[in-house]
Amino acid sequence: MDPLIPINIVVADRSYRIKIKPEEEEEVRRTMKEVNEKIVEFKTAYAGKDLQDYIAMVLIMYATHPVTSGGKIQIGLAPFLEEKLQHLEELLDNSLK
C-alpha cells in the first residue's frame, strides 16, 4: 500500500485534514479550489441560503457531471472524489450535531 500524506484542505472557509497519496495532491488541491469557487458562485446566484445548501449544490453538481471544467473526462478520479466527498459530508454532519 502506498504511503499516505496528510494535507489540509479548505472547504467554505473550514479546514479539514485528510490523508492522500502524494501523486493525488495536485489534483485534490485543484478540485478544492474549484469547489470553493463554485460555492462563491452559488452564494452570488442564490442569496440568503445556508452555507450547507451551497456546499450541497456543489457536491450535487460534481456528482452528476462527469466532465470537469476543463472539458476532460476524469475516468480514474470518480471513485476518489466519491470517497473524499463522502468523508467531507460526514465531517459536516458531525460538526452540525
Structural domain harbouring 45? 5-96
Domain count, the chain: 1
Decide: 15 and 9 in contact? Cβ < 8 Å.
yes
pLDDT digits (tens, 9 = 90+) for 18-65: 999 999 999 999 989 988 999 999 999 988 778 988 988 888 888 887
Kindly report the pTM of this predicted structure. 0.64
Which residue in this structure is represented by grid cell 489540509?
A: 8
pLDDT digits (tens, 9 = 90+) for 69-82: 444 445 455 666 77
